[in-house]
């Protein structure tokens, strides 16, 4: 499947396909999860497009679902399907042992859950935060939750709203494993694959940030490519099939680069970084000749030139990871 994206108030979701065995595991667990879900309850805070999709998936699984949103009225369709629209967030979280929040960022999440009345109602319950933000914010929220007697799991949704409740959905989770195992049957009502990345609470957000970095730099590169192509009389439709070809060669490149970074052996056989720097210089020259901003490519070329100056010209391009993060060598 090719990557898909959508815009939501919470974040841009990018489809990330986990190992096939996780899909098989999901299929084997689905029957047990469905039986357990019918005896469970969940609260969903935040009813933007993604929040509504989450609540809808819980309802479809037969889970008693309570919902709340800061802006009134967004719960109408969910209420027609059987959800209970709580009048306040504290009433909402009191209704279920498990609360899932998905809002625009952690500032918005904190504005809801850190209210004294809400924190009190959450004591002894579990909060699963599927809001997008940074690893440091996840750690801060986990510390706050621990101080208030609240079980806390952090998570990331890596796929669009349309995938929620289907096998195509991808969720990442981090935090106490016992807590994750306890609530996994209900969380799996959201469909797709659920991967627990470990107990370090910021790990899900770290994956999310890294993967969104791949996506947005790729999209910036594609937008730049379309601008250069247009300047040279090539339409976007004409270029697109060949751009898809570039995308198709990336998965094995990613695998090889990952092995090199983890091993510290940056083979430049067949494509040394000197060659990469030369080709990037051509992109910069052509872009700027048309008055097109080439600052992103200039930055990439600059990284390559610095690596060459350090004596690594025979290495591959991924050697720049050590330039960008010297502490990784330790």
So what's the pLDDT on residue 28?
A: 42
List, in sequence order, every residue forming a beta bridge with 126; answer none if it has no partner: 98, 151
Q: What is the pLDDT of residues 135-182, one digit of tens each?
A: 999 999 999 999 999 999 999 999 999 999 999 999 999 999 999 999
**Residue 175 DSSP SS3:** coil
pLDDT-derived band of residue 18, with 50, 70 and 90 as boundaries? low
Average the pLDDT over each of 39-43, 45-49, 207-211, 221-225 and give the range with the smallest value.
39-43
Q: What is the pLDDT of residues 238-283, one digit of tens each?
A: 999 999 999 999 999 999 999 999 999 998 888 899 999 999 999 9
pLDDT at 33 over 80: no
Query: From CA 87, how far away is CA 115, in angstroms rounded?
Result: 15
* 126-129: strand order across its sheet: 84-85, 64-68, 41-45, 98-101, 126-129, 151-157, 170-174, 193-196
Instruction: Tell me what percent of the residues of the chain surpass a pLDDT of 70.
Output: 87
pLDDT higher for 12 or 119?
A: 119
Q: What is the pLDDT of residues 298-314, one digit of tens each?
A: 999 999 999 999 999 99
So what's the pLDDT on residue 327?
A: 78
CA distances from 276 to 123, 282, 302 (A): 55, 10, 11
Find the mean pLDDT for residues 226-233. Answer: 98
**Residue 54 DSSP SS3:** helix
So what's the pLDDT on residue 40?
A: 87
Q: Which residues of 277-312 are buried (b: 16+ CB within 10 A; e: fewer)?
A: beebbebbeebeeeebebebbbebbebbbebbeeeb
Q: What is the pLDDT of residues 50-98, one digit of tens each?
A: 999 999 999 999 999 999 999 989 999 999 999 999 999 999 999 999 9
Size of the chain, expressed as the number of residues it contains? 330
């Amino acid at each position: 499947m090719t990557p898909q994206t959508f815009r939501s108030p919470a974040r841009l979701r990018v489809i990330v396909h986990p190992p096939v065995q996780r899909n098989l595991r999901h299929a084997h667990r689905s029957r047990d999860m469905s039986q357990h879900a019918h005896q469970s309850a969940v609260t969903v805070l935040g009813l933007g497009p993604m929040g509504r999709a989450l609540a809808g998936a819980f309802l479809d699984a037969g889970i008693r679902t309570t919902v709340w949103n800061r802006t009134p009225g967004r719960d109408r369709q969910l209420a027609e399907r059987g959800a209970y629209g709580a009048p306040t967030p504290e009433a909402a979280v009191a209704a279920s042992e498990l609360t899932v929040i998905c809002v625009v960022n952690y500032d918005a999440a904190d504005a809801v859950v850190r209210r004294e009345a809400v924190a009190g109602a959450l004591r002894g319950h579990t909060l699963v935060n599927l809001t997008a933000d940074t690893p440091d914010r996840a750690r801060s929220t986990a510390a706050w939750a621990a101080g208030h007697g609240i079980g806390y799991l952090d998570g990331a949704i890596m796929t669009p709203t349309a995938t929620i409740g289907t096998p195509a959905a991808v969720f990442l989770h981090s935090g106490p494993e016992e807590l994750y195992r306890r609530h996994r049957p209900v969380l799996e009502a959201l469909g797709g694959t659920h991967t627990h990345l470990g107990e370090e609470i910021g790990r899900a957000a770290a994956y999310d940030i890294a993967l969104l970095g791949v996506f947005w730099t790729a999209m910036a590169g594609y937008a730049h490519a379309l601008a250069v192509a247009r300047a040279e009389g090539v339409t976007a439709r004409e270029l697109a099939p060949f751009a898809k070809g570039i995308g198709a060669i990336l998965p094995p490149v990613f695998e090889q680069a990952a092995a090199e970074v983890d091993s510290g052996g940056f083979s430049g056989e067949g494509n040394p970084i000197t060659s990469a720097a030369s080709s990037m210089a051509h992109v910069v020259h052509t872009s700027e000749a048309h008055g097109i901003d080439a600052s992103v490519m200039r930055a990439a070329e600059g990284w390559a030139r610095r690596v060459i100056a350090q004596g690594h010209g025979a290495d591959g391009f991924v050697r720049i990871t050590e330039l960008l993060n010297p502490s990784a060598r330790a």
